Chain A
Amino acid sequence: MNPSHSVSPHRLRVEDLTVVPPRHIGLWVATALVLALLAMLFWAVGTNAAFDWPAVGKYLFHRSILRGVLNTLLLTVTIMVFATIIGTVMAIMRLSPSRILRTFANAYIWFFRGAPALIQLIFWFNLAIIMPQITLSLPGIGTLFSARTNDVMTPFLTAVVALSLHEAGYMAEIIRAGITSVPAGQTEAASTLGMARGRILRRIVLPQAMRFIVPPTGNEAINLMKATSLVSVIAVDDLLYSAQTIYARTFETIPLLIVVAFWYLAMVTIMSIGQHFLELHFNRSDSGGGGGGFRAALRQAFSLSRGRRA
């Protein structure tokens, strides 16, 4: 039987046609399951005495924990700055016409990116075994500087040196990819206007490379911040080490690990938000809206999120 015969064409009007949304039974079942699992998880965490939530509250803003947070931030920022500088130099060397410079940069990246961070860290910590004295002397002038390696290489400096060299290997690749993503025509156009090489790199190429450099660099910074917890093995009092020092004494291991996780998550969240605004800033030529820096990016961020929800 043809269904179109059962309805008179005179009574069915085009304007009355409506769409019935399909029912997603599977979706409902899955949602219910997830909610049940979450409830069970919260129940288990809330009622298990080992989590000791009052202890978490007690240590969340503990002095040595806050000092650990500060040290972790300081390490992350310092290492990131040095890694970016060394990485930029390595990236430019990789793009150099000189084969020797290219090979050197490749070897650097291969070694420092390839060897595990923890091993590099312990290696630099034991530098004094290879080189008990650090001496800088120039022929004809004599010794300018000499000191015992263990006096110079404090745990903090060791951590900065080891992790900067390691991180620079990653940054070099990110920056190189960013630079090569800018079309050669940009450089050509700038040089026909009489701009010199260094100025072209600074004014034309790098600003445009930033939109390709910022997102992976944000990821690197987040990874690095978490990776700085490795320095607890060489007794730098970062966030993790501060917590370890406390629970070694009080045996409140789980609450303190929760405190540490809380602070790492808090810092990662803030960094992600910062990264979001940086990306908006460097993508502003794409998304329209007149020129004008950070404030415009902010304004745009809010109009964008509103637009998505509508």
Chain B
Amino acid sequence: MTTDREQDFHVPENTMVYARGVRKSFGKVEVLKGVDLKVPTGSVACIIGPSGSGKSTFLRCINHLEDISGGLLLVEDKFVGYDLVDGRLHVVRPAELCRRRADIGMVFQNFNLFGHMTALENLMEAPIQVRGQSRAEARERGMALLERVGLAHKADAWPRQLSGGQQQRVAIARALAMDPKLLLFDEPTSALDPELVGEVLAVMRDLAQSGITMIVVTHEIGFAREVGDQLIFMDGGVVEEAGDPREMLRDARSERTRAFLSHVL
């Protein structure tokens, strides 16, 4: 072997996200202790686990919001934050990181809508600034996406005037405006009042059927059962168990998975 390439790690075909032995430490605390995971293209993976299990940290490593301390973490056969040259990982230039991140959408627990922009402006910002779309183009696309999440009538509303559920739906539309190949959801319904959870899950269900690859960190077991192609239980910084959601919820192999599920079901 003369040069190392990501392909040499024998990543299975049609894999969107591939993790092997991913480690991450904050100072002396090791949060991820070797995460192994495979998310096929076009599938929906739901990650569950107790707080502190590292599931959100892992999600943030996928689009390099956090750098990793070691291991292999590929999105479409490439590192997001690094270039592999002669067996060493070099941190990519900021412009290249931006280019790669633009294809990975993320939805946050606290929505993080831009507070100084209306709902529609939130959707238009990145397509104009990053993708170089014209205002008219971005506006038309933005309105179509707001329509899709049922909020076309709120196009000119400020984030503060929207309910939590509406804000999260705008945030999902904002991520979609970049045409991502992969969507990451970091506990998208955890900050919502119970009666608003349904409207956000409905949008996510609709998205799952559209064939986009989704990784969802969630406490919504019902959503995982209904929509997920894969259920991943993380505990103590590793993947304890992964498999078909319906099978796993019925009959988990691991003792710890069963114990956790008995608390949340």
Contact = CB atoms under 8 A, between A and B. Distances in A.
B146 to A, nearest CB: 15
A285 B99 contact: no
A192 interface: yes
A193 B106 CA distance: 8
Contacts of A15: none
Contact of B112 (A185, A285, A288, A291): A185
A204 B112 CA distance: 11
Interface in A172-222: 183, 185-186, 188-197, 199, 203-204, 207-208
B129 A195 contact: yes
Nearest to B125: A203
Nearest to B109: A185
Contacts of B161: 288
B116 A207 contact: yes
Contacts of B104: 192
A286 interface: yes
A191 B174 CA distance: 13
B27 interface: no
Interface in B97-120: 98-99, 101-106, 108, 110, 112-118
B102 A285 contact: no
Contacts of B159: 285
B173 to A, nearest CB: 12
Contacts of A186: 112, 114-115
B189 interface: no
Looking at B106, B108, B112, B175, the one whose CB has the most chain A CB atoms below 10 A away is: B112
A104 B197 CA distance: 49
A285 B119 CA distance: 11
A291 B118 contact: yes
Contacts of B158: 284-286, 288
Contacts of B102: 193-194
Nearest to A282: B116
Nearest to A187: B112
B108 A191 contact: no
A288 B118 CA distance: 10
A307 interface: no
Contacts of A140: none
B116 A195 contact: no
A52 to B, nearest CB: 53
B200 to A, nearest CB: 17
A291 B130 CA distance: 23
B178 A194 contact: yes
B222 interface: no
Which are the 9 A-B pairs with shortest beta-carbon distances?
A194-B102, A193-B126, A189-B112, A192-B106, A185-B112, A285-B158, A194-B130, A194-B98, A290-B156
18 contacts: A192-B65, A192-B175, A193-B101, A193-B102, A193-B178, A194-B98, A194-B102, A194-B178, A195-B98, A195-B129, A196-B95, A203-B125, A284-B158, A286-B160, A290-B118, A291-B118, A291-B121, A291-B156
Given A188-B112, A203-B125, A285-B158, 5 more contacts: A190-B126, A192-B63, A192-B106, A195-B130, A208-B115
